[in-house]
Amino acid sequence: MSRYRKCAVRGCQDSVSVRLYAIDNAAGSLRAMPKLTECHVNRNCIKKMKVSYATQVFSHTVASVMTLMARAGIVGIQGEKLSETAQGTAKVLKFFDDLMDSVNGYSLYPSSGKPLRSAVSRCTDHFEFWVEARQTLRKMYYQAEGTEERLRPPSLVNWTVTINGIIDIFEMLEQGNVNHLKCRRLNQDPIENFFGQIRQQGLRDTNPTCSHFKNHFKTLLINNFSSRLSMSANCESENSKNIIVAVKKFITVDVVVPSRTDFCSFPSEIPNFALQYISKVSLGYVSGFITKYVKKDISSCEVCIRDIFSENPVDEWHALIAEKEYLKTMPAKLKYCHLRIIQKFAELYNITMHMVPQLAYKANSVGLLVNFIKSKISLPLSCPNHKESLNSKLIEKFTFFLGHNWTVGINRALSGRDLRPLNNDPVIKQAKEIYLKNRRYRK
């Protein structure tokens, strides 16, 4: 939508996604849309050969968060507020997410919450969805900003052609007693990868002759197709089997394990940071994600189930989970964590975000942090049989998750993908300064 600015099916505008990103960006390290960066919403930063940027914007998560923020009327720290077209924009994002799922199935059975991301058969919902999708695509048009002219770019027409082509292929396969079609196999990535590796031979032979092509192909056979894919290639690795197994050398390196750091003195009081609304709903969603790992361990204990899980959303902490339910007409698939557990996880989040920059350089930093948190926080569990084990496992899982999230933030700052003006964390601030200092050396 960056070219035409407005999609007039349900009043969709791409400026809504920019405002939504600004609101979510101000939430600190605990965001509802952690995958989104400037490269997703800023037209000057978008890498045109990266399809992943488009698919991550046209996603169920972004559509759910946009609907939730528009309904709650959340205003950003700089006055950003979603316009009246936010609801329509969210519906368009959800439509294209379902449409891409329907032509990207790679397994016989659908993945969790994605009924259309599976192989096409007469027993699935693909054909019913495609009938409605073709009607929606026929009605869809774009308007350039400031004009009333209706435009239909080739992408809308080609989507209809793609749907009709897949239906024709499936009907032809049915005549040969083939009952399933994995649409993800209908792509040119293998041949594109192959030609890309051919062009990489001979110091970048972009226009090989027939003789050169034959010699390059022999080289690839001998080298076991080990050449790396182009960094800007618009395709994924097809995971083809090795034709000739090359000789591999295994080198054993003695790993020097640093001596364990003694438990250092921690501050007696941790500052309590006030969480914004977007951070609250994200924390509620993450809490359900973390507690899901222990459900199989307590499936037969009604006391633990009652202490950890809540059957229905009861507070604003659960708002994002309720909005992200894939099939609202069926029983809930996502986990609703009990409000008391979420509040304890909020305390854990404050401690972790305050202590991680101080412990990151120490040996066994995660172990030190986990032990300190266990001495400060005890989850409200009443089962005498599972209390200690559940308390330890949940605290470790959540701490590891936050540590990983913090590390990803540093890597994004070093690579220039996250340059938000949030200077509370000294390590992330230093990573941004390093990127800005060395930016002129990057291509």
- Residues 42, 170, single domain; the answer is yes
Mean pLDDT on 71-81: 70
Half-sphere exposure of 167 (CA within 13 A, CB side): 14
* Structure confidence at residue 189 (pLDDT): 83
- Residues 148, 208, single domain; the answer is no
Provide the pLDDT confidence category of residue 251 given band limits of 50, 70 and 90: very low
* Structure confidence at residue 170 (pLDDT): 94
pLDDT tens by residue, 156-210: 899 999 999 999 999 999 998 999 999 988 888 888 888 888 888 777 778 888 8
State CA 269 to chain mean position distance: 35
- Residues 148, 206, single domain; the answer is no
The answer to the question of residue 252 being in a domain is: no
Distance CA 295, CA 290 (A): 10
231 pLDDT more than 60: no
298 pLDDT more than 60: yes
* Structure confidence at residue 135 (pLDDT): 92
The answer to the question of residue 245 being in a domain is: no
The answer to the question of residue 244 being in a domain is: no
* Structure confidence at residue 13 (pLDDT): 65
The answer to the question of residue 251 being in a domain is: no
Percentage of residues in the chain with pLDDT exceeding 90?
A: 14
- Residues 69, 199, single domain; the answer is no
- Residues 174, 206, single domain; the answer is no
- Would strands 142-143 and 12-13 be described as parallel, antiparallel, or unpaired? unpaired
Segment (H or E) for 353: helix 339-359
State CA 133 to chain mean position distance: 25
pLDDT tens by residue, 78-127: 666 777 778 888 888 899 999 999 998 888 888 777 888 899 999 999 99
61 pLDDT more than 90: no
Asked if residues 72 and 64 have their Cβ atoms less than 8 Å apart, the reply is: no
The answer to the question of residue 312 being in a domain is: yes
pLDDT tens by residue, 317-340: 888 888 887 665 555 567 888 889
* Structure confidence at residue 141 (pLDDT): 86
51 pLDDT more than 50: yes
Distance CA 4, CA 43 (A): 12
Mean pLDDT on 236-259: 45
* Domain range enclosing 314: 277-434
234 pLDDT more than 90: no
Residue of 257 and 393 predicted with greater confidence:
393
264 pLDDT more than 90: no
Mean pLDDT on 405-433: 80
Residue of 260 and 359 predicted with greater confidence:
359
> Averaging pLDDT over each range in 66-80, 237-251, 342-356, which range is the top one?
342-356
Mean pLDDT on 114-141: 91
Residue of 6 and 440 predicted with greater confidence:
440
- Residues 170, 201, single domain; the answer is no
Chain position carrying tokens 């940071």: 273
Listing from the earlier edge strand, what are the strands of the sheet with 6-7?
A: 12-13, 6-7, 142-143, 150-151
- Residues 128, 163, single domain; the answer is yes
Asked if residues 63 and 94 have their Cβ atoms less than 8 Å apart, the reply is: yes
Chain position carrying tokens 């200092």: 437
Counting the structural domains of the chain, the total is: 3
- Residues 152, 63, single domain; the answer is yes
137, 170, 185: which is the final residue of a domain?
185
